[in-house]
Amino acid sequence: MTTLAQIEAMDAADALAGFRAHFHLPAGLVYLDGNSLGPLPIRAQARIAQVTAREWGDGLINSWETAGWIDAPARIGDKIARLIGAGKGEVLVADSTSINLFKCLAAALAMQPGRTVMLSESGNFPTDLYMMQGLAGLTGARCEVVQPDRLLASLDASVAVLTLTHVNYRSAAIHDLAAITRAAHDAGALVAWDLSHSVGAVPVDLESAGVDFAVGCGYKFLNGGPGAPAFIYVARRHQAAAPSVLSGWLGHREPFAFDETYQPDPGIGRFRCGTPPILSLLALEEGVDLLLEADQAALRGKQSALSRLLIELIGSHCEGMGFTLASPHEDELRGGHVSIRHAHGFAIMQALKARGVIGDFRGPDILRFGIAPLYLRFGDIYEAVTRLVRVMREEAWRRPEFNRRASVT
Ligand SMILES: Cc1ncc(COP(=O)(O)O)c(C=O)c1O
């Protein structure tokens, strides 16, 4: 069993330890929910103050040009591209993940005449399935949502596009992105990956896997802030042929010509729709920049070590308390969070939050602990498990106040 002395030694030897100082993390709190909402990068606070005072305050409308606001979606997209194995001009920051997925699926359907099925798996994040359903209602295309073990067998000549979330939001299980993309292509289908739980958390190489489309969140491991805009990736080889169904004015090849007929931008720019949220965009840029300063392989290594420690300590300190691991045991199959099942999971998480350990709960019985190596210490994991043991020993989760459901958890 790993001892506290060994855990302190791990923190002392951690080459990434310096990044923690770049985040605002309330004293005494153990924050294990960066897979849902990343904490505030201190530089983002300073950037927002500067942007509001100088660029918005003094520069006013001139700042679209003078402060580079107009280029921010593509500029930050190019930065995110470096985290997901994409090239310059293949990623754009815009809208929400849900909207971007809609754009990708609509483009894929249009590019595959004669194929009418959008395929996904049960257990995918609900918004992905909802966007498919909405698009099916508009286009007459069909949604097929199959059990995960039926996915590959369901790839037939009717499938226009397969859409999956790379890292499962409940279990953190990682799909084999390259192998599934290959299988979809062999069947003549396009693929659209949701990288919301992958970007900034696990290695992704879209180009070498030949991925067609991808989307992902800015507010999770990218630490872009609440409601940060999302990103969309469209492989360069598809850009000229992939129509943007949300043909807004900023996706026009010359938006400021105010032409009354839509003519798409020749590249990724066609997936812009309306005016980007500059304050949120520039806060996101700080989160992305910080992540890019870290060695990505070292980050993944530390994340695996932190996750292993959490699994080990829950296994040893909480033995016989009713917890079971809902995430894969193997590091290479597990993404950026660790999920644990317990019959009283909801109330346990509420009690844990009251003790200053923030994770989240996904029904019916999953406690999720986000493992963000940029700011977490091995000692935080130890502290979280120590407080969890206290909650369990005192049976704090039995208290009525921890059993009341809130609307956002
Ligand atoms: C896998 C996945 N996709 C999409 C979303 C939602 O994205 P958005 O709110 O940007 O539409 C989430 C949110 O948690 C998610 O986990």
pLDDT digits over 54-66, tens only?
Answer: 999 999 999 999 9
Of all protein residues, whose CA lies closest to atom 4 belonging to ligand 1? 97
**Average predicted confidence (pLDDT) for the chain:** 97
382 is catalytic: no
Amino acid at 119: L
Q: What is the pLDDT of residue 408?
A: 62
CATH number at residue 234: 3.40.640.10
Burial grade of 196 (CB within 10 A; 0-12, 13-18, 19 or more): buried
pLDDT band at 405 (very low <50, low <70, confident <90, very high): confident
| C-alpha distance across the termini of the chain, in Å | 32
Amino acid at 311: I
How many angstroms separate the CA atoms of 260 and 239, rounded?
23
Q: How many residues does the chain have?
A: 409
Q: Ligand 1, residues 95, 97, 361: which to mutate, most atoms within 8 A of Cβ? A: 97
Q: Are residues 81 and 160 in the same domain?
A: yes
> Among 271, 293, 315, where does a domain finish?
293
Assess if residue 386 is contained within a domain: yes
Task: Find all residues with CB under 8 Å of 65, minimum gap 6, and list them.
Answer: none
Q: pLDDT tens for residues 281-307?
A: 999 999 999 999 999 999 999 999 999
Of the residues 78, 194, 212, 360, only one is catalytic, namely 194
Domain count, the chain: 2
How far, in Å, from the CA of 251 to the mean position of ligand 1?
Answer: 23
Q: Which residues surround ligand 1 with Cβ inside 6 Å?
A: 96-98, 125, 127-128, 165, 169, 194, 196-197, 217, 230
Q: What is the pLDDT of residue 407?
A: 62
How many angstroms separate the CA atoms of 232 and 213, rounded?
7
How many angstroms separate the CA atoms of 194 and 214, rounded?
6
Backbone angles phi, psi at 58, to 5 degrees: -90, -40
Tokens representing 83 are 């985290």
Cis upstream peptide for 364 (omega within 30°):
yes
How far are the Cα atoms of 173, 201, 216, 264, 298 from residue 167, in angstroms, in the given order? Answer: 6, 10, 11, 32, 19
**H or E element, residue 307:** helix 296-317
* Structural domain boundaries, residue 263: 68-293
Of the residues 47, 79, 115, 220, only one is catalytic, namely 220
Q: Are residues 285 and 201 in the same domain?
A: yes
Of the residues 219, 323, 369, 378, only one is catalytic, namely 219
Q: What is the pLDDT of residue 397?
A: 83
220 is catalytic: yes
Q: pLDDT tens for residues 38-56?
A: 999 999 999 999 999 999 9
> Among 230, 264, 293, where does a domain finish?
293
The alpha carbon of residue 4 and the mean position of all alpha carbons in its chain are separated, in whole angstroms, by: 32
